[in-house]
A and B are shown apart, each in its own frame.
Chain A
């Protein structure tokens, strides 16, 4: 990133130049790098593009039984006890998702996902990055790719461009720690924000620190040393920002909080809306607890589905009412689906061969079901899609060129979404 280049730290985002220079007055003696600072400010001003697109990933940790949510098989041995209900879209979904059913005219189900990774770690990595794990290359995840791609269009953004609520995201891989998720809990608490020292004194310290950092980097000890400095820059941006209030879900009216659900996932979805409103290009909200090897149906009916139903429907409705859904892509997925066969413990095990994801917003065709599985859900009928296709779809919806090529840590050209084609049914 141009903005984060060395030497020296630059004006923290969110601090006006004049404001910053006031601090600097007390720090001029330290500013060996003030020249670079001026250049960077000029660069900042010239890169103002308008692209308000964002994405929200609802990550279902553990692997949800999509056969019980989005692609029911009533009457089959694999079907389980849940019944399908009509929706405002053209598809039916589980009876225990009644509020989402009212929003399905804005979402679409991809019922022909077929992947190969049925182990949590590998599956989560693959679904997050579009690449299977490989020892020599660390691939960046959705949040890192999208926030990096959209960052230049958000020159007014002062808080991190990739926020993960509740943890569980994959990392930035070869894009570097500067694109790592900023993880917060669902109450939006960010620890250690209170500096307790005069701003001008902090500026002096930071200017001096920049030199010390640079010396270590100049010793040529490998790139990790420079990554550290970049993260310090991002932290400075954040420390000075009014936009931090986007994390404060408690500022929302009580009825809105109630509508989303007063639990971690509900608050996380509400925070996602606030963050996107502020300009954050990528937010990931995790709902764990889908690894239901035992006793799956009561767990889904009593715990998982009510939480999901409330929060996800509220998010879609809210974004739509605020006119933000056209610019915001929603992705609902886990690392894989679960076995159509119900096991001896009335659970379902890991299953990647035929499962569903849900997407919507950002101009993707709404209200449809893409693809289909066979009668009992054990295989896909017709064509199928993979993690790569899904990622290409989301990138396309956000206006990110599918010709984008990165250079990996081992200097190989890596195409975005592994060069895959988007899901054609989702685009007119």
Chain B
């Protein structure tokens, strides 16, 4: 386990897991018999995935691109699984590995290796924090959300390999304090804490159905949906599950907000038949009780000890066919750039998936794995579509999802790093000069840096915008910002110092080191010539020329894209 930034004790307290649990997990993982049976099953699944993807290629007479270079694939994998580019030594270890299943081994290491637990968990914490509370949730002074609390729950869940059904259940049913310093701390409360009070829980209804069921219901709050069979009635029946939930602000700012169950009296005042009313567009009032989307009802009592509505909702959701489906779609979209539907969390009947057979297969296997998120990731990243080059050929140029076509996955679709991936990669680009901070300070610094790109629209849907995506402020930040400045120093331990050291004996080696560090490949002949020109322009000062080259590499499209 990587504990450079904190002592073992602090680490354990922070993550809340015992050493015993890790030892147990490791023993299980290392048992040879276990490994072998896992291997065959995994292989079969991946073959099936490849087969279902290839079926579409045949149907549309498309030919896939060549496989990506090892270096390119390795860079992609590090960025996607642990949220940063590989370090030069990591890249070289992979490139020099001659074992035939080195890809499988690298995937295993990033998913299960102790040395990557922290980074893996941080990456997926980031992804899910943005999904659950957005890029700005908890940043406003008076917010009920504790971003720190949310992240603590998520880190724990991902480090401990919490199965996805339990993960969803904890988020939906959470009670307790939002802040990590409180006695009754439960970080999962932060998902719902600011979504239950306003507008009778409209946001809780919309977020829960969208994230975990792929059902977009927000419009049906006020009217029947024009092109989806969700009706206003269904919306309010789903909403009724949140009526026993209440967020309480602490008595003073020093007290943590609390999410709690409380009895629901019903709008007509009969707790045994705790109802709610909604208004049709023609002004008529209709009544609703908790009914799940498939029509299953629960007891109508508003007493929590008779029937806990959120518990029941969680039961329904984790047993629903939609839950694994939307997660499989989300994961596929995360790794391949596009899901089978657009957006990935809209699986309504109006939105036909581009490869329904594959989506069903992934979701069934995911469910049968006991909702094991890492397994799902493993199948996807070891599949053929994930291994393909991003270079488009004339045999697959019609496969262009940007033009509105359904994605066929005949080549890897390039995408810009997220702000979070860039941040972590720029830390790698600082070499060993990156200052070491305590975990909390590290997170605060990162959060502050990320805030420069996020702004909210200030409405009741919590909509946010990001100015990160390929804009002038982003280019300026890469030209001049604090992180690029820190990355282009020549201090001992910096990437430039490392490059100089590696190139002490041979001329091109230092330049190649930089290209490997930034782009996971070596410089070509033209690029070596450019390097020489820089050397001339810097009057023969090689390390100054390295500064120019490193600046150029970090500012290139090839660097900032996942490709």
Which residues of chain B are near A204, meaning CB under 8 Å? 533-534, 537, 548
Stretch from B252-260, B312-320, B379-387, B452-460 contacting the other chain: B452-460
Determine if A238 is an interface residue (Cβ-Cβ < 8 Å): yes
| Interface pair B465/A167, CB less than 8 Å apart | yes
Determine if A403 is an interface residue (Cβ-Cβ < 8 Å): no
Checking A201, A239, A409 against B403 with a beta-carbon cut-off of 8 angstroms, the contacting residue is: A409
Minimum CB distance partner of B218 in chain A: A119
| Interface pair A61/B459, CB less than 8 Å apart | yes
Bound-state CA distance A166–B199 (Å) is 27
Checking B219, B413, B469 against A119 with a beta-carbon cut-off of 8 angstroms, the contacting residue is: B219
Closest chain-A Cβ to B161's Cβ sits at a distance in Å of 34
Give A1-38 as 1s and 0s: 1 = Cβ < 8 Å from B's Cβ atoms: 00000000000000000000000001101100000000
Determine if B342 is an interface residue (Cβ-Cβ < 8 Å): yes
Q: Which of B466-490 contact A (CB under 8 A)?
A: 467, 469-477, 479-481, 485
Determine if B527 is an interface residue (Cβ-Cβ < 8 Å): yes
Which residues of chain A are near B473, meaning CB under 8 Å? 182-183, 190-192
| Interface pair A29/B476, CB less than 8 Å apart | no
Which residues of chain A are near B526, meaning CB under 8 Å? 211, 215
Checking A190, A191, A223 against B481 with a beta-carbon cut-off of 8 angstroms, the contacting residue is: A191
Determine if B558 is an interface residue (Cβ-Cβ < 8 Å): yes
Determine if B438 is an interface residue (Cβ-Cβ < 8 Å): no
Which residues of chain B are near A168, meaning CB under 8 Å? 455, 457, 465
Determine if A45 is an interface residue (Cβ-Cβ < 8 Å): no
Checking B414, B479, B555 against A192 with a beta-carbon cut-off of 8 angstroms, the contacting residue is: B479
- Using a Cβ–Cβ cut-off of 8 Å, how many residues does chain A contribute to the interface with B? 70
| Interface pair B461/A121, CB less than 8 Å apart | yes
| Interface pair A209/B555, CB less than 8 Å apart | yes
Determine if A229 is an interface residue (Cβ-Cβ < 8 Å): yes
| Interface pair A220/B391, CB less than 8 Å apart | yes
- Using a Cβ–Cβ cut-off of 8 Å, how many residues does chain B contribute to the interface with A? 64
Closest chain-B Cβ to A167's Cβ sits at a distance in Å of 4
Which residues of chain A are near B549, meaning CB under 8 Å? 208
Most chain B CB within 10 A, of A204, A223, A411, is at A204
**Given A120-B460, A220-B392, A221-B390, is A195 in contact with B480 using a C-beta cutoff of 8 Å?**
yes
Checking B393, B404, B485, B555 against A136 with a beta-carbon cut-off of 8 angstroms, the contacting residue is: B404
Which residues of chain B are near A228, meaning CB under 8 Å? 416, 470, 557, 560-561
Closest chain-B Cβ to A190's Cβ sits at a distance in Å of 7
| Interface pair A222/B537, CB less than 8 Å apart | no
| Interface pair A235/B472, CB less than 8 Å apart | yes
Give A37-75 as 1s and 0s: 1 = Cβ < 8 Å from B's Cβ atoms: 000000000000000000000000111000000000000
| Interface pair A209/B199, CB less than 8 Å apart | no
Bound-state CA distance A209–B391 (Å) is 20
Determine if A86 is an interface residue (Cβ-Cβ < 8 Å): no
Bound-state CA distance A298–B198 (Å) is 19
**Given A224-B414, A225-B414, is A121 in contact with B548 using a C-beta cutoff of 8 Å?**
no
Bound-state CA distance A90–B551 (Å) is 61
| Interface pair B222/A212, CB less than 8 Å apart | no
| Interface pair A235/B479, CB less than 8 Å apart | yes
Most chain A CB within 10 A, of B218, B533, B549, is at B533
Give B403-424 as 1s and 0s: 1 = Cβ < 8 Å from A's Cβ atoms: 1110000000111100000000
Closest chain-B Cβ to A218's Cβ sits at a distance in Å of 10
**Given A180-B470, A227-B470, is A293 in contact with B475 using a C-beta cutoff of 8 Å?**
no
Which residues of chain A are near B369, meaning CB under 8 Å? none
Determine if A217 is an interface residue (Cβ-Cβ < 8 Å): yes
| Interface pair A177/B222, CB less than 8 Å apart | no
| Interface pair A121/B402, CB less than 8 Å apart | no
**Given A61-B458, A192-B476, A213-B557, is A221 in contact with B392 using a C-beta cutoff of 8 Å?**
yes
| Interface pair B414/A137, CB less than 8 Å apart | no
Determine if A288 is an interface residue (Cβ-Cβ < 8 Å): yes
Bound-state CA distance A26–B538 (Å) is 11
Which residues of chain A are near B469, meaning CB under 8 Å? 177, 180
19 contacting pairs across A/B (C-beta < 8 A): A61-B458, A61-B459, A62-B457, A120-B463, A167-B455, A169-B465, A182-B473, A183-B473, A192-B473, A204-B537, A204-B548, A212-B556, A228-B470, A228-B557, A231-B470, A231-B472, A231-B474, A408-B404, A411-B403
Known contacts A136-B404, A191-B452, A208-B533; 10 additional CB pairs below 8 A are A27-B537, A180-B471, A212-B558, A213-B556, A222-B390, A224-B414, A224-B415, A228-B557, A234-B472, A409-B403
